[in-house]
Structure 1
Amino acid sequence: MLRTVGRHAFRPHPSLVRLYTIPSTDHNRIPLPSAATPTPPAPKKPKVNLHPAPIKPKPAPQPSLLKAHRPLVVPLPPAPKLETAKQAAQHDIHDAEAHGILTPPPKDANWFKRTIHQAVQLLKFYYRGVKLIFSRRREIAAIKARIAAGGPPLTRSEFRLFETQKDDIAKVVPFLVIALLLEEVIPLIAIYAPFMLPSTCILPSQRLRIEAKRAEKAQAFSSQYYGLISELRRREQPAGFIPLRALHASGAPTAICGLLGLSTIGFDALRIRRIRRHLEFVTRDDQLLLQDNASHSLSNRQLTEALQERGIISRGITHSDLEARLSWWLDAVKNSSVEISDEALARRLALVLSSRYT
């Protein structure tokens, strides 16, 4: 190294040359980390979402813990949807028009005129039905006067007319309120709550559907409460008689109402009252059937109605089989008390629960 300062050359001391001289060989250089290629970070573990926590299945109850008298659950026929109910209501109206009960609308009528025409025809039909309920009072009064004067005794048809009139009188006031305020919902009531309609305000196809649903309900209850019915039959005291106090068992009033086609709405005391009144009606009806010897002169519809009132299955049965089943019932009760007593009701309750025809 030689540096010239001015005219004089500067020569460094040899020791300084050795101390400050850095070798220029490439293999002794220390490489520095490059900023252009950073080291990638370590991959993170994926998070596991623990919310909500998995649901643990509940253990199934052991068969030994179940009640022995628990009924076999058989689903009842489901209630029709609103759209299906509306279609059924239209079918009822068209069927009544086909049978001449309602006057059909003009063929060239539009939707509005046709709807108004049907509403007016239904109002006329309901008016005539309500009028018939009140006009029957004169006929009933004449029958009672005849019997009081010592004339011919009461017949079965007259007795059933009396009972029908009692039911219709109880229904006519709420029916009139609905007919005046919400007349268009009455066809739907025939589907969802037929027990609210008086007998004179039901169209023919509505009546057939009500009877079919009543039979389906009785058959469903017979299967659903099979275990409970078997348990009630073991309470016969004496054989062939089930006292009405057996109805206080859990679920018994609902089961018997279902078998007899009665309403199951309400609490047990109300259901037991319905059952007692119905058995009293059946007892009196049995006496008149035996008195008139009319079991073989009833039409197919009358036989079906009589068997349904006694909790006997009648769907898909021939006319001769219907007569045989009614004769079986009458033979079983003809030697019982002729009066409406607890003994007569106990005999009929046992027959309702009999496994032969239920």
Structure 2
Amino acid sequence: MLRTLGRDATRRHSSLILLRSYTTPSTTPSKLPSSHIPLANTKKPKVNLHPAPIKPKPSHTPTTTTTTTSSTKIPRSFSTEKTVPQPPSKVAEEIKHDVHDAEVHGILTPPPADANWAKRTLHQAIQLFKFYYRGVKLIFSRRKQITIINARIKAGGTPLTRSEFRLIETQKDDINKVVPFLIIALILEEVIPLIAIYAPFMLPSTCILPAQRERIEAKRADKAQLFASQYHSIYTALRRAEQPPGFLPLSALSIASAPTAVCGLLGLSTIGIDFLRIRRIRHRLEFITRDDQLLLQDNKQLSQRELIEALEERGIATANLAQKDLHARLSWWLDAIKDSSSEIDDNALARRLALAISLRA
């Protein structure tokens, strides 16, 4: 009896140990049954929910690193732009060229060789101011010379020459420009070189440096050549509007864009409305008519510069032409207007306008 009870107790004790070995999880993963692994995994997230906010830290760290890197790159790019010297603009180069060319020709006194930047800039500003002062002074001093010329003609003396006529016309133009030029020179003298580049029509003839004059004339010639190609159809339409053939009245400029096309052809400003453009064209044709009369009267041999100036005023191209070719073109023009009216009337203007258009149509 006692032995039987002892055996039952021993069996119960061993079964209890086996039961505990299956119900109590072991700390060694390799001894866990495969059926219990999912249960352990599903329970771990529930227990370890508290560390979950730590997960954004790795994603947050690269963001701050990227931001820091980008923030350090911006100052570097700015510092690089500041340290690298920017090339001088075309405008600054043209101004320097104009001043240097005037110094080479003796119009402006060059600064001392050992002058620093401040002294050199001050010296050039003073020299330009003296140049503009002498130019304005010359405009007012020419009034006495023109008064003498007009008095001689009224008294029945020698007739007016072409050079005197052009001097009088230049003086009229300069008088209209000198007052606004003086205001600009007194307030903003440093702006005048920019005016010579962008608005040369505002400068009196006595206040233009030689290099500036060459650039103005070159731009005027380029403008006329450009207009000849752009407005070819307009010039062709104007040729068809001649009444009679060989005479183009100013009333034909009512064609759309015709005043702009003719202004560009004659080297005139195209700014403003058509009324102002037609007014400029009329004044130019009147000037050319009087100039033609004096050219026929004086029969003087012109220099190459005078030939180019006379031809461009009449809308005749002069690029890459020798002096004999320039003279031949001017002779053709004078022969074409010999039989026209010697008076400055509508027929004389219509004849010259038709000649200028015929060379481009």
Report the TM-score when normalising by structure 2.
Answer: 0.76
Alpha-carbon separation, structure 1, partners of 2:39 and 2:200: 89
Contact 1:260 1:310 in 2 (8 A): yes
Q: Percent same amino acid at aligned positions?
A: 71
Distance of 1:200 and 1:144 partners within structure 2: 22
Give the equivalent residue in structure 1 for 2:275: 269
State the one-letter code of the partner of 1:195: F
* Change in 2 beyond 3 A, CA 1:241/1:316: same
Counterpart of 2:342 in structure 1 is 338
The 2-side partners of 1:163 and 1:201 are apart by 16
Aligned to 1:137: 143
Provide the residue aligned with 2:156 in structure 1. 150
Alignment of 1:230-249 (within 5 A): 230-249=236-255
Pairing partner for 1:302 from 298, 303, 306: 306
Pairing 1:1-358 to 2, within 5 Å after superposition: 83-294=89-300, 297-355=301-359
Structure 1: distance between partners of 2:302 and 2:233: 34
Can you give the 5+ residue segments of structure 2 that lack an aligned partner in the other structure? Answer: 1-34, 43-86
Measure, in 1, the Cα distance between the counterparts of 2:176 and 2:231. Answer: 31
Shift of 1:288: 0.6
Change (3 A) 1:240 1:261: same
Question: Could you list the runs of 5+ residues in structure 1 that have no partner in the other structure?
Answer: 1-30, 39-80
* TM-superposed deviation, 1:36: 9.0
CA gap 1:345/1:105 in 2 versus in 1, 3 angstroms? same
Paired with 1:273 and 1:82, the residues of 2 have a C-alpha distance of 40
Q: Secondary structure at the match of 1:353?
A: helix
- Give distance in 2, aligned partners of 1:298 and 1:167: 23
Distance 1:35 1:243, change over 3 A: farther
Per-residue Cα deviation, 1:89-111 (whole angstroms, up to 9, x for no partner) = 11100111111110011111110
Structure 2 CA distance, aligned partners of 1:125 and 1:107?
21
Q: What is the CA deviation profile of residues 138-166 of structure 1, one whole-angstrom value per residue up to 9, with x for unaligned ones?
A: 00000011111110000000000010000
1 CA distance for matches of 2:239 and 2:88? 40
**Counterparts in 2 of 1:137 and 1:37: CA distance versus 1, 3 Å:** same
Would the aligned equivalents of 2:200 and 2:216 in 1 still touch at CA under 8 Å? yes
The CA distance in 1 between the partners of 2:349 and 2:180, in whole Å, is 32
Inter-partner Cα distance in structure 1 for 2:254 and 2:40: 92
CA distance, structure 1, for counterparts of residue 299 and residue 98 of structure 2: 36
**What CA deviation, in whole Å up to 9, does each residue of 1:149-194 have, x standing for no partner?**
1100000000000100000000000000111111111111111111
> TM-score normalised to the size of structure 1?
0.76
- Does the 8 Å contact 1:308/1:314 carry over to 2? yes
C-alpha distance in structure 2 between counterparts of 1:355 and 1:138, whole Å: 41
- Flag the structure with higher helix content: 2
Q: How many residues align?
A: 282
Specify the code of the residue in structure 2 equivalent to 1:261: G
Instruction: Give distance in 1, aligned partners of 2:176 and 2:319.
Output: 30
